[in-house]
Amino acid sequence: MKSLKDENREEMLELLRMMVRIRAFEEKAARLFLDGKLIGFLHLYSGEEAVATGVCACLREDDYITSTHRGHGHCLAKGADINRMMAELYGKATGYSKDKGGSMHIADISKGIIGANGIVGAGIPIAVGAGFAQKYRETDGVAVTFFGDGASNRGTFHEALNMSAALNLPVIFICENNQFGMSTPFAYHSKNKTISQRAAAYDIPGVTVDGNDPIAVRDAAAIAVARARTGEGPTLIECLTWRHYGHFVGDSAPYKKPEDQTIWREKDPIPNFEKRLMKEGVANAAEIDKIQAETEEEIQAAVEFAEESPYPEIDVMFEDLDFSPADRKE
């Protein structure tokens, strides 16, 4: 594991703060769901925080991301407002989509978040379009797409890799390999040892990194982003990680072996990064506690914001559609 001695202290604390924020958001959401306050489907990102945090640390506001059904972490890391996100989960009018979307459809276009997506693998080629738009406008902006190991077996992944390589687009493919496509282990549905090796088929760089180490993720992403910004085309980064819970809240994940759970829980990105910060003298326990406490307050405020917000008016379901199919014009 890389030493932190040359790292900027503020940046390190921000990485920690973001991971803590994502975790706190997810743990709170899970509790609220189990208490019956949240509805629908909730796919938690707990355990994978280092990926979104490390990647988005390399991005600017004018860079784009596309996300997944497990998208809360990506949205927070790219700068989405925590209050509006919580309101979206509650189905309240102050949510990002006036609450027509919910957990799987959070987007903040002003922050470059083109959206979570309820269709596994659908966001991958949409990022190709966003990356094309960067090139079309002759910016040095990039587009990043997050997706899981399951999605890497969809045709969208392969079409998107090939197309972005062929057109030399500034797209960065971030595969969050949490090792299960819902319940099925990756090894069962692919003969590939790694997902990153598939990059070779499209003649682009591919690398596998420790997805529980925010520094390793950030360093790999920084190289890919620099390549993309300077017109060198796409990169595939596979981040090996683990989701702490089931596919969604309510899935007890009986398909995960207890011993694997134990091993991977020990690799939890947050306590490990905290220990590393303390061991290398970047931060002390009091500073870390302060981040935890401030984050708790933030989450509590978000919950209050959401609970106090009104439900949307019924007519909102017709907003943002310009037209009815067959209105009478009398």
Residues that bind other proteins (CB under 8 A): 64, 66, 95-101, 105, 107-110, 114-115, 117-119, 122, 124-133, 135-136, 143, 155-156, 159-160, 162-163, 166-167, 319-330
Q: Closer CB to other proteins, residue 91 or residue 246?
A: 91
Alpha-carbon gap, residue 262 to 249, rounded angstroms? 20
Nearest alpha-carbon partner for 264 in 287, 240, 246: 240
Q: Closer CB to other proteins, residue 169 or residue 216?
A: 169
Q: Closer CB to other proteins, residue 4 or residue 107?
A: 107
Q: What does residue 238 show for φ and ψ, rounded to 5 degrees?
A: -100, 120
Residue 316 DSSP symbol: G
Alpha-carbon gap, residue 27 to 99, rounded angstroms? 21
> Smallest distance, Å, CB 144 to other proteins?
12
> Smallest distance, Å, CB 218 to other proteins?
25
Q: What does residue 148 show for φ and ψ, rounded to 5 degrees?
A: -100, 180
Strand partners for 174: 146, 237
> Smallest distance, Å, CB 66 to other proteins?
7
Q: Closer CB to other proteins, residue 174 or residue 291?
A: 174
> Smallest distance, Å, CB 80 to other proteins?
12
Collapsed DSSP state (helix, strand, coil) of residue 322: coil
Q: Closer CB to other proteins, residue 200 or residue 293?
A: 200
Burial of 47 (0-12, 13-18, 19+ CB in 10 A): buried
Paired tokens of 4? 């932190």
> Smallest distance, Å, CB 308 to other proteins?
19
